Structure formats: C-alpha cells, structure tokens
Structure 1
Amino acid sequence: MDPNLLAELHGDDWRELSMLAKKNTLSPSQAQRFLDLYRSASKDLSRIMTTAPDSLEAARLSAIVHRSRNHLSAVPSGGLSGLSRFFVVSLPLSIYRLRWDFAIVAASFLALAVLSGLWAGIHPEVLETFGDRAYRQQFAEHDFVNYYKENPNGFFAVGVWTNNAWIAVQFVLLGITGVFVVQGIFVNAVNVGFSAAMMFEFDKGADFFLYILPHGIPEISCIILAAAAGLRLFFAWVIPGPQLRRNKLASEARSLLTVAGGLVLLLFGSGLIEGFVTPNPIPPVLKIVIGVLYTAAVIVYARYFGRRAARAGLTADLDEHQAGYSILATDR
C-alpha cells in the first residue's frame, strides 16, 4: 500500500496515539482506545515496511509505535529500562508463548518416565543392567537418600544449580538440532523411571517421592521448559512459514535466549530447595508444598505479565530498528 495514502487515511489515528502515549495516566476508556490505536498502527507499520521501509511515513510511524510500546508495557525509560523490560515483558512473554509446547513436552516426559518405570518393575531383568541385587539394594536403601545429605547444603545447592543451568542452556542453544533435545528428554525420563523402579523394588517408594518431589517439581519443569524452547527453535528452522528462514530463526533465537537466561535464575531457586529443603528434617508435606508454591509462583508470574504483553501485541524480540526489518519470503 502507498505510504502516503495510508498516512492520509489513518493520520488522525496516528496523531491521537502519539498524544495518548505522552500521557502519564489513562482512564479506562482511554486505555482501551490506546490499545486499539496501537494495534492498528502496528499493522499499518507492517504494511509500510513491506513496501517503503525507507519512507518518511515509515520513520514517523515507527517512532510513534515504539514510544507507544514502551508506554504500554509500563517500562521506565531510565538506565534500568532494559532490566525492567526483561522481567516485565521479555521473560514472561517468552515463557507464556511456550505454554502449549511445554504441555506437550511435559506430558511426553511424564508418560515416558511412568512407562519405563512400570516396564522395569514388571521385568526384573531390565534392572539387572544397572547392577546386581546388592548394588540396587545399596542404591535404594542408602545411596539415593545420602546423595542429598553427604555434602554441605550450600556447596550441594550451588553444584546442582550450575549443573541444571548448564543442561537448560544446552537444551535451548542446541535445540536447533532437534535430536539433542529429544535424546536428552528421553534419557532423563528413563533415568527417573528406572530409579523409581529400583526404589520400589526394595519398598523405598515413599523415600523416592519424598526426596525427589520438593525440588523435582520446579527443577524438571525448568528443564522441560528449556526443551520446549529448544524444539521451538528447531521448528522455526525447519518450518519458517512466510518469513525467510534466516529471519524466522534469528527472531526465535533472540526471543528464546531470553528463556535460557531466565531459566538460569529460576533454577537457582530450585537449587536452593534441593540443597536446603530436600534434606531438611521438616515434615515431608511441607517440603513438597514449598516446591509446589515456588513452581506456582513462576506460573502465575509468567501468565500475568506474559498474557498482558501478548494481548498488547508486544514481542520478546528486539525492536525492528535494532534487529532489522523482516520481509516475506516467496522463494527460499
């Protein structure tokens, strides 16, 4: 569409949006009007960028949309604006976008863990591959529990945090391969299932859940989220849609790297739980409640801020003037 014609048709709306973006506070009706105008202007900007990205109208509207986006996300423009945007927009929005990917990977992980545990429990010869009966009994009656108690709490917490954070970052960064993530999820799920089978073999099933659930709920959730992000990156490469493959992949990578950084922080919390709560002699129910509450807090945070950012049409990617404008692909 001709940018001059578009400016003639929607110029009044653009000016109104610019005026509302300069206000410190908005009434409910103004806020709704602001949101409608922002969405419309964003679509107009997209149209202009496909036909005349270097035009005066493109520069003018880009400035209005950028200012409106900052106002809409309630992110201050001072020196801490980047940090604020990360926690208020980029991280929760990135997690929120992965909610269905997460659900699919989580269901697959749990199904595989349960099936492998049942298979090993029904076929004792499978457990023989882990060691003889004496070895499995030592694992079930001593080693599994002692793993959480044999080192100082702080040292143990930092150790599991760095290990899990490294796994999460690898899942995201190497997700483009597809195979790495699938293999990692498969191995982890089977290990959980086989460990449970060995514990139940010697009537230590209660200890298994008591020591794995408090930290395992948030920890495994983070690892599954990392796997979901990695697979999203893989499918962005394989199925880029109407965008150029390199543009789609670059956009998803910039957004999903936010998830990797956020998971490093979130796994620090699960590391503290594993180091200080799991081996603590407090009531078992309280241990599990702590893990559940931590996970629930992350979910509420991601849903509230992520959903708000998604409805506002925001993105976890860089602004177009920083990342470069995208074009539709007709031939790859």
Structure 2
Amino acid sequence: MPRIDLDAYVAAHSYSWVRLEQLVALRKRNGAEADELVDRYQQVATHLSVVRTSAPDGELVAYLSSLLGRSRISMLASRVPTWRGVARFFTDQFPAALYRLRWWWLSCLAGNVVVIAIMMVWLAHHPEVEQSLISPQEVDQLVNSDFESYYSENAASAFATRVWINNTWVSALCIALGILGFPVIYLLFQNIAGVAIVGSIMTRHGRGELFWGLILPHGLLELTCVFVAGGVGLRLFWSWIEPGQVSRASSLARAGRTAVTVALGLGVVLFISGIVEAFVTPSPLPTWARIGIGILAEVLFLAYVFVVGRAAAARGATGDIGSDLLEDRVATQA
C-alpha cells in the first residue's frame, strides 16, 4: 500500500478523533450519541489501520490505540447496569409493571384462593379420596412429624436457598410458558392442589392450627408471587390472542419485555419470602407473632404495588424494560 501524507491525513480526520474524545467523556448519552459513538469508533479503527499500514507513526498509533481502548471501555460500561439503574428498576419499572398488570394477577390470586377453599372443603368431606392418595401410615407420619419437621430439619440458610430456587423456578415457568396459556393453568393447579390436600388432611386430623400457623407466615407472600407470575403469564398468552391496535409480534414483544421485568423483580420478593420461611416459620415465636410477620410482609408488598407502583405509572413508567431504548432509537431516526 502506498504511503500517505500523514499531515494531510491528520488534518482530514482529526475532527473524528476529537469528536470521539468528546463522546467518550460524556457520562450519559442519549440514543443519537450512543449510535454516533459506535460509528466514530468504527471510523477511528479504520484510521488506525491505515496509519499502521501506510504511515507508521509511533506517537499517532499509540494515541489512536488508546482512544479506541477507552471507547471500548465506555461502550461496555454503558451496557452494565449502574446503581442508579438498579434503583430505578425497583422504584419505577418493577412496581409500575405490577400495578399496570394488577387486574390480571389479582384475578389469578382470587380464583386460586377460591379453588383452594373449595378443594379443602370437598376433600375434608370425602375422606375416601385421601385414602386413595396417601396410605394411613403416610398420613400419620405427615400429621405427627413430617409437616412440622419440614421447616426445621435443615440449616436455615440452606433451606432458604432451596426454597428460593424452587419458588423462583415455579414463577419463572409460569411466565416463560405463558405464551402457551394452558401450561400456566396446569402449574398453578399443581401448586394449589398440594396445599389443599395437605391442608385438608391436617385439618381433618385436628392439626389445622399447626398447619395454618406454619403455612401463613411465608405462604401469604410466597403464593402471592406465584399468582402474580401466573397472571403475568396469562397476560403474555392474551397479548397475541388479542393484540389490540398493534401487530401480534409487537404486542407479544412488549408483553414479553414487561414479563421479564416482573420475573426479575419477583426473584427478589421470593428471596424475602424464603428468608421468612427459613427463619420465621420454624422459630419459637408465638403463632400470632409469626402470622403477624407474614401479614406485615404481604401488606408491605401490596403497599409497594398500589402506592409506589401507582405513582410510578402516573410518572409514565410502563414496566417495559426496552421502552427507553426504543424511544431513543426513534429519536435517533428522527
């Protein structure tokens, strides 16, 4: 490749280098500036290649290499969530998503509570069903030892982790399989059927107080999270059945991004529920105190949704984690 006039080359392209310096120095960029950063990076990478090949000037090569290195770090840093971004997720996006989808998960919650109640009453009046599901020896073991020991037989920290992973997995499945609809209903039924069967057995054998005393402290928040996931999963299914004024693909994409927001946030809420189940449920506190803690956790969650979430929705937050990026792209194209 023939040599180039280095002075002329620098004069012709120095503006791009200066502009890239300015973009790298920005602490916050809008969509147009982020796109320009990528474009300028590619231009300067080409300039560096030309200089190395046609006019190898050590000082200029070092400068352009350094500029490109800082640009790569800047682009990478812009993709890593900041503490401010994490805070905004929990003050705006997550509560807004919960609030905007409230009728879906509240309906799911109410429907499942009614089904649990009906199943428990029906099973309590049909003991022959219990006998077809579990042997008398297993009933005796469940009522007199297994149910109570379940919450204390393992170290609290290990138990909390196991509970958190299990509940997060169930909630994630409800959301991930939501696009198909029926699997969500099946998962929810499997979840509540277990509660109803054990509850009816414990109640029919005179251990109802023990059952509710152990299930309510953590179960209120835990089951609420599962029902939220179920409601969001069903909303995802409905987004392509009835897309409204947009295409099915756009409707599904928007609902999917919001579902991801809820899934991420529920992971944290279920972690709190797991801590309650591991440290409060088996604790020596009086039953009223343990249930009181469970009720307090549930009330705080609902307040988070209907106070923080309502305010976030009023500010324009949608829960769509891609909405800001899409707005930036539209602005860039405009």
Q: Same fold (TM over 0.5)?
A: yes
TM-score normalised by length of structure 2: 0.71
Structure 2 residues without counterparts, runs of 5 or longer: 1-80, 330-334
Root-mean-square deviation over aligned CA pairs: 2.0
Aligned residue in 2 for 1:314: 317
* Structure 1 residues 207-222: aligned runs within 5 Å: 207-222=210-225
Aligned residue in 1 for 2:128: 125
Q: For 1:244 and 1:253, how far apart are their aligned partners in 2?
A: 14
Cα displacement (A) at 1:325: 9.7
Cα displacement (A) at 1:252: 1.0
Aligned residue in 1 for 2:302: 299
Aligned residue in 2 for 1:173: 176
Cα displacement (A) at 1:129: 2.1
Q: For 1:304 and 1:133, how far apart are their aligned partners in 2?
A: 49
Aligned residue in 2 for 1:142: 145
* Structure 1 residues 177-192: aligned runs within 5 Å: 177-192=180-195
* Count of residues paired in the alignment: 250
> Which residue of the other structure, out of 161, 173, 178, is the alignment partner of 2:164?
161
Q: For 1:286 and 1:90, how far apart are their aligned partners in 2?
A: 33
Q: Tell me if structure 2 keeps the 8 A contact 1:215–1:291.
A: yes
Aligned residue in 2 for 1:254: 257
CA distance change for structure 1 residues 155 and 320 in 2, over 3 Å: closer, same or farther? closer
Q: For 2:245 and 2:133, how far apart are their aligned partners in 1?
A: 49
> Which residue of the other structure, out of 234, 242, 251, is the alignment partner of 2:237?
234
Deviations 1:152-178 (A, max 9, x none): 111111110111011111111111111
Aligned residue in 1 for 2:112: 109
Identity rate of aligned residues, in percent? 36
Cα displacement (A) at 1:149: 1.3
Cα displacement (A) at 1:194: 1.0
Structure index of larger Rg: 2
Aligned residue in 1 for 2:278: 275
CA distance change for structure 1 residues 119 and 311 in 2, over 3 Å: closer, same or farther? same
Structure 1 residues without counterparts, runs of 5 or longer: 1-77, 327-332
Deviations 1:256-307 (A, max 9, x none): 2110000110000110010011001111111011111112112112222211
CA distance change for structure 1 residues 318 and 216 in 2, over 3 Å: closer, same or farther? closer
> Which residue of the other structure, out of 91, 94, 97, is the alignment partner of 2:94?
91
Letter in 2 for 1:214: P
Deviations 1:15-74 (A, max 9, x none): xxxxxxxxxxxxxxxxxxxxxxxxxxxxxxxxxxxxxxxxxxxxxxxxxxxxxxxxxxxx
